[in-house]
Structure 1
Amino acid sequence: MAIVVGYVPRPEGRAALDRAIEEAALRGSRLVVLNVSRGDALVDPRYAGADDWDAVKAQLEASGVEHEVAQAIEARDPADQLLKVAEETNAELIVIGLRRRTPVGKLIMGSAAQTVLLEADAPVLAVKAPK
């Protein structure tokens, strides 16, 4: 079993990664870090470039938790890909980051986060970035 975290190179992604590392250490679980994008930072802010991945890998190595990183560069929906990896790894927990929203934005949660929360078979921990 593993903990799966959806990583994006933004504050909410870093907050999710930090919390996922804590959970993996507490549970003695393997951590799977997944970044899903179309593969171009100019058009997709979810894309984790080489510098981002280097920082993630350094943080994981320093944490001492068993881990693997994966980047799915395709047009597939990020939520679907995260749910697929969670199913393949028999995830005991999925960790996602949520961004802060305006009052109007709060009426509709991000579609990827909503899909994961509603369709995941494993418990989902939603994390907000610090202010």
Structure 2
Amino acid sequence: MTIVVGFVPTKEGRAALARAVEEAKGRQSRLVVINSHRGSLDDEQARAAEQELQRVTDEMQANGTEVEVRQLVRGNEPAEDLIAVANETSADLIVIGLRRRTPVGKLILGSNAQRILLDAPCAVLAVKG
């Protein structure tokens, strides 16, 4: 079994990661952490992202979670990358974080979250930050 989680270093991303770890432990599953960037990163951004992802990897390995971390900078929307990795790994679950929205924002939910919920090849768990 595989669980795919979308991760960005925000409270929503950390909440998604924490819940994905719980799910992975409970299901005895492998965890694939995806950090997706639509555009290119400058040197400072790339270093910061690598350090954050290394911290995530170290933390997961220290608590015994089987983890694979991927940083994707391919010009795709994060939803595209998460769905592609879920298909590639035959994932059983995708975990995403949702941020608080205004009443008008709630109508559209968020394009990435909405696309994942509608197009995912497996169950999706959305968590608040």
TM over 0.5: yes
1:52 and 1:39 map into 2 onto residues whose CA distance is 17
Confirm or deny: 8 A CA contact 2:5 2:16 kept in the other structure. yes
1:25 is aligned to 25
1:39 and 1:9 map into 2 onto residues whose CA distance is 17
| CA displacement at 1:40 relative to structure 2 | 2.3
* Residue 7 in structure 1 maps to residue 31 in structure 2: no
- Judging by fraction of residues, say which structure has more helix: 2
* Residue 54 in structure 1 maps to residue 57 in structure 2: no
2:84 is aligned to 84
Q: In the alignment, residue 120 of structure 1 is paired with which amino acid?
A: A
Confirm or deny: 8 A CA contact 2:57 2:67 kept in the other structure. no
Q: In the alignment, residue 101 of structure 1 is paired with which amino acid?
A: R
2:117 and 2:34 map into 1 onto residues whose CA distance is 17
- Provide structure 1 residue ranges, at least 5 long, that are not aligned to the other structure: none
Give the TM-score taking structure 2 as reference length.
0.90
Give the TM-score taking structure 1 as reference length.
0.88
- Provide structure 2 residue ranges, at least 5 long, that are not aligned to the other structure: none
**Percent identical:** 56
Q: Which stretches of structure 1, 4 residues or longer, exceed 2 Å deviation after superposition?
A: 38-41
| CA displacement at 1:21 relative to structure 2 | 0.4
2:63 is aligned to 63
> How many pairs are equivalent?
126
Q: In the alignment, residue 26 of structure 1 is paired with which amino acid?
A: G
Once superposed, what is the RMSD of the aligned Cα atoms?
2.0
